[in-house]
Amino acid sequence: MDIVELSRLQFAVTALYHFIFVPLTLGLSILLGIMETVYVMTDKPIWRDLTKFWGILFGINFAMGVATGITMEFQFGTNWAYYSQYVGDVFGAPLAIEGLMAFFLEATFVGLFFFAWDRLSKVQHLIATWALAIGTNLSALWILVANGWMQYPVGARFNADTMRMEVTDFMQVLFNPVAQAKFVHTVSAGYVTGSVFVLAISAWYLLKGRHVEFAKRSMTVAASFGIASALSVVVLGDESGYTAGENQKMKIAAIEAMWETEPAPASFTVFGLPDLSTHTTKYEVKVPWVLGLIATRSIDKPVPGINELVDEAYGRIKDGLVAYKTLQEIKRNPKDMALRTLLDAHVGNLGYALLLKRQRPDIENATDDDIRAAANSTIPNVPVLFWSFRLMVGLGFFFIALFGTAFWFSARRRLDRYRWFLRIAALSLPLPWIAAELGWIVAEYGRQPWVIEGILPTALGVSSTDPANVLFSLLGFALFYSVLLVADFYLLAKYIRLGPDAALPAPLAAAE
């Protein structure tokens, strides 16, 4: 593995580890706000106990999320130095805001949540809890604004004098449609994760006959919030599909394993076996019109296939070479306005020309075969995207069925009567994390070979460092994060086994 693959693998490992903790933090923070709101409205002690107990589990997970998240931002400087230099003006702004505003907001109010129960009034403490939840979600917003810009770089331009991307309109960066769709989709997935977590543990308590009233109330909140969240994930996922269909056509084509452009409206492939050797998908089972409606919101716009998009990339690489050669001339004649006008006409495809750097260093002398190879490199790993997306979607519909059933039983006060359902709910505990990780694989793996879509190839963003150093740090991070993960599982399992009676200062039995 070269420096590029090692750097990608290290960031993937740390990101996927970190996102084990993030969705549960997002989901539990809102659930805590809901539970404490019920406590303030009803003045029933059991709702305060619910908030405190699930708050303990939230706190454990929150601490682990902070510990695993800090190192990720440092990697931009250590492993992705050219990426940081090239787009730091744009990418650094939302990350800085996240640290200065959202993170400090979380840090302040998480302390009030845990240590100010007896120092604040009920309403004041409730405000602190909701401020904690808002801060947690704001943190996700700024991270996803940065990530959304990587998927769809708007509000910035290339400066030939500084050789960097620079912000021209921060409002475009903030209100980037891809970033907004990713934010609402991602936080909704976090809400599903928190709801499944509460639902599964409560189901386990009911199966064991422990903390029955506590578990019933927890399941009721989780089912109500969960069904709304699961439906939101599907609806907002559709919006993400539309934005990708507008701005990342190759990702959509790879997700569908659609090699040739279909007549509008395109069909959605429910099942198939992508064959990379023949550029075909075998044994396809299709649903007419669905892909066209998702990706184009119309019945008359085609969804381009992989082969057509490769041909388009071929043309964009040739056009980008004009920009690249012109840029070399500008370095020698920086005051030549004719050259700058020519650059402006072709600079939109400069990033495509940079794909040739994987073929040869002197890209101005690239042959037709080099250009064709670079165009083919724009195809991501089709089987990985195809199956990751379908497993993610399948789990999404399973969550709707799970929460819908729980909500029905809760409304009829029969949550503890159907042990088969309680077993299914308890065994569903790991599924939202699997769905969330699959979603990130689709989002990030589907963007390859770009670190900034159409602007900067991934291979050019890495630092010039010894691969052995990256391998050493990769193994170190994997070991350290694994220790944190084991510690997180141990602490969560410990307090879950103890239950609210032992975990809370005041016995719950008296409250019941």
Q: Walk along the chain (512 residues) and give the pLDDT tens digit of each residue.
A: 789 999 999 999 998 899 999 999 999 999 999 999 999 999 999 999 999 999 999 999 998 888 888 778 788 888 999 999 999 889 888 988 887 777 778 888 999 999 999 899 999 999 999 999 999 998 899 999 999 999 999 999 999 999 999 999 999 999 999 999 999 999 999 999 999 999 999 999 999 999 999 999 999 999 999 999 999 998 888 888 888 878 899 999 999 999 999 888 889 999 999 998 888 999 999 999 888 888 888 888 899 999 999 999 999 999 999 999 999 999 999 899 999 999 999 999 999 999 999 999 999 999 999 999 999 999 999 999 999 999 999 999 999 999 999 999 999 988 888 999 999 999 999 999 999 999 999 999 889 999 999 999 999 999 988 899 999 999 998 998 899 899 999 999 999 999 887 666 654 434 44
Rg (CA), the chain: 25
Q: Is the pTM of this model over 0.85?
A: yes
Crossing angle of helices 3-42 and 45-78, in 10° steps, is 160
Answer for the pair 146, 94: CB distance below 8 angstroms, yes or no.
yes
Q: How many CB atoms lie within 10 A of CB 85?
A: 15
What are the tokens at 154?
């708007």
Answer for the pair 122, 40: CB distance below 8 angstroms, yes or no.
yes
Q: Where are the alpha helices (DSSP H) in 98-151?
A: 104-115, 122-151
Q: Where are the alpha helices (DSSP H) in 333-449?
A: 337-346, 350-354, 368-376, 382-411, 419-427, 431-440
- Which secondary structure element, helix H or strand E, spans residue 262, and what is its range? none
Cα separation, 60 vs 30, in Å, equals 16
Cα separation, 252 vs 403, in Å, equals 29
Answer for the pair 450, 456: CB distance below 8 angstroms, yes or no.
yes
Strand pairing class (450-452; 456-457) = antiparallel
Cα separation, 449 vs 374, in Å, equals 10
- DSSP bridge pairs for 456: 452
Q: Which of 159, 197, 54 is CA-nearest to residue 499?
A: 54
